[in-house]
């Protein structure tokens, strides 16, 4: 069950570093595992070209991430804002190299002073650099909070006017389909995403009320937040039904049972 392309991602993250010398070993291990498997499940259709090159004769299946039951139980309505308060953009997740928030957010937040405020929830290896970049930009409309339990996170989602997602401009990330997309899309809020490749295609095809910009493009982030705020709430009943985690896991379980029966 392939949830991430380790060698692909590490090739970007470790480029030019001494640790990159161990990557050939992991490439060999990846090929060996794929070729020995009876069946391989992938979390993103974007992975298919990578794994087929390593094991072209294998039977690959795709079971994406999905929407947890907890999110499907919620009745999400438009947020109530106090008179005079600015619209709220919420980001929840890691703040590391893979997200690259320190490259895109400070400039965008500065340009949206007086028009929107940001609430960033999470931690990671680049949070310190993000904080320094925000301070250097002199912004006053960004709030940073530490990671929190899901129940508390839901409260912040309810308060949001826009939900924000960003991946760094790495070639490997053109294949991924982040689980956060499903969580965000279930909320009914406009979704602004700095992604490329398969994630961008998926959002434009599957998620109504999503606004995509190129990774690390601060001007694009500003433009799409403005567009999203004009758009408002979006019903996604078909999406919520199609990508309910229970339905996806039921199909995956049936597939595994069928494989077991066929091997007898």
pLDDT of residue 262: 76
Q: Which of 99, 176, 104, 179 lies closest to 134 in space, CA to CA?
A: 104
Distance CA 155, CA 227 (A): 24
Q: Which of 202, 252, 178 lies closest to 1 in space, CA to CA?
A: 252
pLDDT of residue 111: 97
The segments of the chain whose pLDDT lies below 70 read 75-76, 263-264
pLDDT of residue 189: 94
pLDDT of residue 10: 83
Tokens of 233: 């709430």
pLDDT of residue 167: 97
pLDDT of residue 203: 97
CA distances from 184 to 18, 129, 192, 195, 236 (A): 37, 26, 10, 14, 11
Q: Which residues contact 87 (CB under 8 A, 6 or more apart)?
A: 81, 115, 116, 117, 161, 162, 229
Give the DSSP letter of residue 207. -
* Bridging pattern class, strands 142-145 and 40-42: unpaired
CA atoms within 13 A on the CB side of 123: 3
Handedness of CA 242, 245, 250, 255 (dihedral sign): positive
């Amino acid at each position: 069950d392939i949830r991430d392309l380790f060698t692909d991602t590490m090739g970007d993250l470790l480029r030019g570093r001494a640790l990159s010398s161990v990557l050939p070993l992991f490439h060999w291990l990846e090929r060996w595992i794929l070729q020995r498997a009876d069946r391989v499940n992938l979390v993103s259709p974007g992975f298919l070209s990578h794994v087929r090159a390593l094991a072209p004769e294998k039977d690959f299946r795709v079971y994406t991430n999905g929407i947890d039951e907890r999110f499907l139980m919620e009745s999400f309505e438009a947020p109530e804002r106090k008179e005079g308060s600015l619209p709220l953009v919420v980001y929840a997740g890691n703040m590391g190299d893979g997200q690259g928030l320190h490259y895109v957010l400070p400039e965008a937040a500065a340009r949206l002073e007086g028009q929107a405020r940001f609430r960033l929830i999470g931690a990671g290896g680049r949070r310190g650099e993000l904080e320094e970049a925000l301070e250097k930009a002199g912004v006053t409309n960004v709030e940073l909070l530490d990671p929190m339990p899901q129940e508390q996170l839901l409260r912040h989602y309810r308060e949001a006017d826009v939900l924000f997602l960003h991946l760094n401009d790495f070639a490997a990330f053109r294949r991924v389909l982040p689980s956060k997309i499903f969580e965000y899309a279930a909320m009914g809020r406009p979704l602004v995403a700095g992604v490329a490749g398969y994630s961008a295609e998926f959002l434009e095809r599957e998620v109504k009320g999503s606004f995509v910009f190129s990774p690390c493009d601060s001007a694009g982030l500003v433009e799409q937040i403005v567009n999203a705020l004009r758009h408002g709430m979006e019903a996604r009943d078909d999406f919520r039904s199609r990508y309910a985690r229970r339905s996806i896991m039921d199909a995956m379980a049936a597939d595994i049972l069928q494989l077991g029966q066929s091997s007898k």
